[in-house]
Amino acid sequence: MKTSKDCVNQNYLDFVAEISPKTNEKRSLLRAFWVGGFICSIGQGLRYFFQEVVGLTGDELASYVSIVLIFLGSLLTGLGVYDRIGKYAGGGSIVPITGFANSVVSPAMEFKTEGYIYGTAAKMFTVAGPIIVFGVSASVLVGLIYFVIYRIF
Amino acid sequence: MERTIYFKNSPKIIGVCSIGGPKECAGTLGDKIEIKLNDDTFGEKTFEQAESKMLYAVIKNAIKNADKTEKDIDCIIAGDLLNQIISATFAARNFSSGYLGAYNACATFTESMLLGGALIDGGYLNNVVCATSSHFSSAERQYRYPLELGSTRPPQAQWTVTGAGATVLSKSGGGVKITGGTIGKVVDFGVTDVNNMGAAMAPAAADTLYTHFKNTGTSPNDYDIIVTGDLGALGSRLVKDILWEKGYDMNKNHVDCGELIYNVAEKEYQGGSGAGCSSLVFCSYFYEKLLKKEYKKMLFMATGALLSSVSSGQGESIPAIAHAVVIES
């Protein structure tokens, strides 16, 4: 039986690659830069606010900033605004923590029609799942390297 | 291998109905669409129910437009893009007619017309309804990401049409008739990019057109218009290029439903796609043109990419198919 590999017509694929419209990289980078930078500036602003006005420090300060940003990301997702920001900014709104909130809330909303247990709860991490898995794995790896280096020196 | 069929009694298309979502109604064919929706949920709780209701509405109205009653319809041949073609099945649940579920992705519309035409031409049935639908929001969740996820689309992507169309084929009546067609074969050139359906479907489309021209001894100029389903701008160009190499020039009279349906504002992308794309455009725009005899002979070919989210997840390439019917008035 034929496999997908046997079907490959390299001449055709090369031609398709040649005439397919390309993503406008300069435009995408510029948009991602200013929107991503803007979100991070809001985060920094919140940090100053909690530090100077509320008087928080250390881990507590960082947690409060994250909580507020996650809330904002979720709220904008629920209001149907975040997908429009994402369409415009691409990576600029995916990479910050608000993008993570968006990737959890959007499937939770989408699959509500299949029930709260098998829909919302079960499918909540379909998009964010891989990020969590690789994020945790990477942190373990970095922790091990740090541990080893710390022991040697 | 004889893939081209010639109908002896030429089944007639005696009634059609089309329905479109808000985006489609704002497009170039907006005023031709019979039922215009302001709300893409169609008053239902889920997008799947909405899609099913659209299909139900077009089947019901097409029967009415054909001056028939539900009792006259022997069989409904319908399909859509959702898993286990639930939209079609749930729509057919409302009718007492027989039901044949059909699936060839976005090529389902012409597939069902070929099947319905053959059943009528052979004298087995008198009246058959052929219908297909698709819905942007139900397709997105099955094939891509949740609606509210902030992601970008690559420029070669297409937009699934929210819409449906139904035709009533009959042994006798009206002036528009199906005189034949060519059954497509599954063609795969190894395209794996799920965002580039046009490139995946173009080889299958070119194969069916080439086979049809060769078997019937016709050339593109023998048709007033050659209409493809949802190749989009890029796919259309590829088909014309492949056929040009084989000695057929259809630059003058080729049109693609996907390219036609939205305004130029969408030019960032390649146009519409989906099982409802070809049926919506045929039932709203081309049927009227045929009735008025502005087009006397039309080659109508819907194209489908036969992938699933499982097959693409497992790294398989995208097989595609295209079925052509000749419609004359």
pLDDT tens digits, one per residue of B204-216: 999 999 999 999 9
Q: Which domain holds residue A116?
A: 25-127
- Between B152 and B225, the more confident residue is B225
Cβ separation of B146 and A127 shorter than 8 Å? yes
Q: Could you give the ipTM of this predicted complex?
A: 0.88
Q: Which amino acid is at B89?
A: T
Distance CA B206, CA B203 (A): 5
- The angle, 0 to 180 degrees and rounded to 10, between the axes of the packed helices A58-78 and A82-89 is 100
What is the SS3 assignment for B34? coil
Tens of pLDDT, residues B274-316: 999 999 999 999 999 999 999 999 999 999 999 999 999 999 9
The b-or-e profile of B207-230 (16+ CB within 10 A means b, else e) is bbbbbbbebbeeebeebbbbbbbb
Whether residue B1 is predicted with pLDDT greater than 80 in this model: the reply is: no
* A106 interfacial to chain B (CB closer than 8 Å): yes
Quick check: do B8-170 and B177-328 share a fold? yes
End-to-end CA separation in angstroms for chain A: 58
- Establish, for the pair of chains A and B, how many residue pairs have beta carbons separated by less than 8 Å: 102
pLDDT over 70 for what percent of chain B?
Answer: 98
Query: Is the Cβ–Cβ distance between B212 and B325 less than 8 Å?
Result: no
- The answer to whether residue A148 is domain-embedded is no
Domain annotation covers residue A151: no
Q: Which of A3, A8, A13, A16 to mutate to test the interface with B (most CBs of B within 10 A)?
A: A16
Span B77-101, average pLDDT: 96
Q: pLDDT band for B264, please (50, 70, 90 cuts).
A: low
Q: Residue A20 is nearest to which of B153, B196, B319, comparing CB atoms?
A: B196
Residue A53 lies in a domain: yes
Q: Is the pLDDT of residue B12 over 80?
A: yes
Domain boundaries, chain B: 8-170, 177-328
Angle at A74 between CA A70 and CA A77, to 5 degrees: 140
Q: Specify if A36 maps to a domain.
A: yes
Contact list, B45 vs chain A (CB under 8 Å): 113
Is residue A139 a part of any domain in this protein? no
Does a structural domain hold residue A38?
A: yes
Residues of chain A scoring pLDDT < 50:
none
Report the residue count for chain B: 329
Spatial separation of the C-alpha atoms in residues A44 and A28, rounded to whole Å? 24
> Buried b / exposed e across B151-184, counting CB within 10 Å, b at 16+?
bbeebbbbbbbbbbbbbbbbbebbebbbbbbbbb
Establish if A44 belongs to a structural domain: yes
The structural domain count of chain A equals 1
Residue A147 lies in a domain: no
Q: B8-170, superfamily in CATH?
A: Stage V sporulation protein AD (3.40.47.40)
A20 touches chain B (CB under 8 A): yes
> How close, in Å, is residue B327 to chain A by CA atoms?
31
CATH domain B177-328 topology: Peroxisomal Thiolase; Chain A, domain 1 (3.40.47)
Contacts of B256 (CB under 8 A, 6+ apart): B227, B228, B229, B230, B231, B232, B233, B235, B236, B271
pLDDT at B152: 85
Residue A82 to residue B234, Cβ atoms within 8 A:
no
